């Protein structure tokens, strides 16, 4: 997608699809498919953050798991550091597991409640034969310090911690192997507002100190703007728009992006009368969707072509990609 910066590209996704079958069995074919991800193409630059934003159920989390090879793809290509992750040898696969990690939305659900915090964080180091014994304890203690926690939590259990501390444990585990790339799957959505700021600042500090690259998945476009260098907007399995963060906020080229920004609460009371885009209608089903633009039924600009032909993701401005048949330009004060 961004050939001129190919040398900086850590992750490249091309035409990625993931369809989940409905019905069928060992000897019968599936009757229909959920088009969770349907032809997504995007790049993630090394050392930067791509914010993946959209409504619940649009396919954001599925993409996160596909690029980590936690789910098998239906179609498309995924390149990590220039190599196709589906062509890895066993040794390359093992190496990839150290370079690419995941922060869960609810880290506590990913813990074994019978394990101590020290064991939870230290397990990746043990599995990959990186540290053991006293060295392992020293590494875990340093990781606890790195995420703002005290080393004396080593022998505690996760159920004794507050929600923000549990998320920090999940972050500590994700950086234990010194990865290059981390998928952050809505890591703050279950946290109180005051704790969210702490976790976001921690992620930003770790990115700076450890040269991390993030794919930050969220439905909150305000958070995505603060943390991300680029934003990709998804709607029902499709990529609607992709651009640098400030460019997208200043010049939206897709009506759905405008609607997402309109939903952001306005803090300045002097702007309370600003006109907002209110979406009507229902989100279409991802099960065997009809041809045409997925957003057409809710778009005020939709024409006959929108209901018949799927718009192609194209570069309208340098570095600014959009999939829309209309020449929409959103430049209102809501940004």
Asked if residue 271 is part of any domain, the answer here is yes
Alpha-carbon distances, residue 74 vs 40, 234, 277, 310 (angstroms): 12, 18, 35, 19
Write out the DSSP string of 207-230. HHHHT-EEEEEES-HHHHHHH-SE
Q: The domain spanning residue 17 has which CATH number?
A: 3.40.50.300
Burial annotation 174-211 (CB, 10 A radius, 16+ → b, else e): bbbbebbbbbbbbbbebbeeebbebbbebbeebbeeee
Q: How far apart are CA 42 and CA 16, in angstroms?
A: 9
DSSP percent split of the chain into helix, strand, coil, nearest 5: 35, 25, 40
Q: Which residue has the higher pLDDT, 214 or 334?
A: 214
**261 pLDDT band (50/70/90 cuts)?**
confident
Q: Which residue has the higher pLDDT, 236 or 276?
A: 236
Asked if residue 52 is part of any domain, the answer here is yes
Asked if residue 330 is part of any domain, the answer here is no
Domain count, the chain: 1
Supply 127's token pair.
């599995």
Asked if residue 149 is part of any domain, the answer here is no
pLDDT tens digit string along 272-325?
A: 556 666 777 788 889 988 889 999 988 888 899 999 999 999 999 999 999 999
Q: How far apart are CA 259 and CA 278, in angstroms?
A: 7
Q: Which of 191, 195, 196, 184 is nearest to 222 (CA)?
A: 196
Q: How far apart are CA 144 and CA 272, in angstroms?
A: 44
The pLDDT assigned to 271 comes to 57
Beta-strand pair 32-45/9-22: antiparallel
pLDDT tens digit string along 143-185?
A: 999 999 999 999 999 999 998 999 999 999 999 999 999 999 9
The pLDDT assigned to 4 comes to 45
In contact, 63 and 232? CB cutoff 8 Å: no
- At residue 83, what are phi and psi to the nearest 5 degrees? -115, 140
Supply 48's token pair.
């930067």
Query: Whole domain around residue 221: which residue ranges?
Result: 3-108+178-322
Res 24 pLDDT > 80: no
Q: Which of 224, 254, 261 is nearest to 327 (CA)?
A: 254
pTM, two decimals, is: 0.90
For residue 239, list its beta bridge partners. 234
Asked if residue 313 is part of any domain, the answer here is yes
For residue 174, list its beta bridge partners. none
Supply 29's token pair.
């074919």
The pLDDT assigned to 3 comes to 47
Asked if residue 147 is part of any domain, the answer here is no
Asked if residue 88 is part of any domain, the answer here is yes
Asked if residue 69 is part of any domain, the answer here is yes
3-state SS record for 245-273: HHHHHHCECCHHHHHHHHCCCCCCHHHCC
């Amino acid at each position: 997608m961004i050939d001129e910066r190919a040398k900086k590209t850590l992750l490249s996704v091309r035409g990625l699809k993931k369809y989940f079958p409905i019905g069928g069995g060992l000897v019968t074919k599936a009757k229909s498919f959920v088009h969770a991800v349907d032809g997504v193409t995007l790049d993630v630059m090394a050392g930067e953050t791509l914010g993946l934003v959209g409504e619940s159920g649009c396919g954001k989390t599925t993409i996160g798991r596909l690029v980590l090879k936690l789910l098998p793809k239906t179609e498309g290509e995924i390149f990590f550091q220039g190599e196709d992750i589906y062509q890895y040898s066993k040794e390359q696969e093992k190496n990839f597991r150290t370079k690419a990690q995941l922060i869960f939305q609810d880290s506590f659900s990913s813990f074994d409640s019978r394990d101590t915090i020290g064991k939870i964080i230290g397990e990746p180091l043990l599995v990959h034969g990186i540290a053991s014994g006293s060295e392992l304890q020293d590494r875990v203690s340093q990781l606890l310090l790195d995420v703002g926690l005290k080393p004396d939590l080593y022998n505690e259990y996760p159920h004794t911690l507050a929600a923000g501390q549990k998320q920090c444990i999940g972050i500590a585990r994700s950086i234990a192997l010194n990865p290059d790339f981390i998928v952050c799957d809505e890591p703050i959505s279950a946290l109180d507002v005051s704790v969210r700021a702490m976790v976001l600042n921690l992620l930003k500090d770790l990115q700076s100190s450890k040269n991390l690259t993030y794919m930050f998945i969220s439905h909150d476009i305000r958070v995505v703007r603060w943390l991300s260098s680029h934003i990709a907007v998804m709607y029902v399995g499709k990529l609607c728009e992709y651009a640098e963060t400030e460019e997208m906020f200043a010049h939206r080229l897709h009506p759905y992006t405008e609607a997402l920004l309109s939903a952001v609460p306005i803090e300045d009371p002097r702007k309370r009368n600003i006109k907002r885009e209110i979406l009507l209608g229902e989100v279409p089903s991802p099960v065997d969707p009809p041809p045409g633009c997925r957003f057409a039924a809710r778009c005020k600009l939709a024409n006959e072509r929108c209901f018949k032909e799927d718009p192609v993701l194209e570069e309208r401005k340098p570095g600014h990609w959009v999939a829309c048949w209309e020449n929409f330009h959103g430049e209102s004060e809501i940004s």
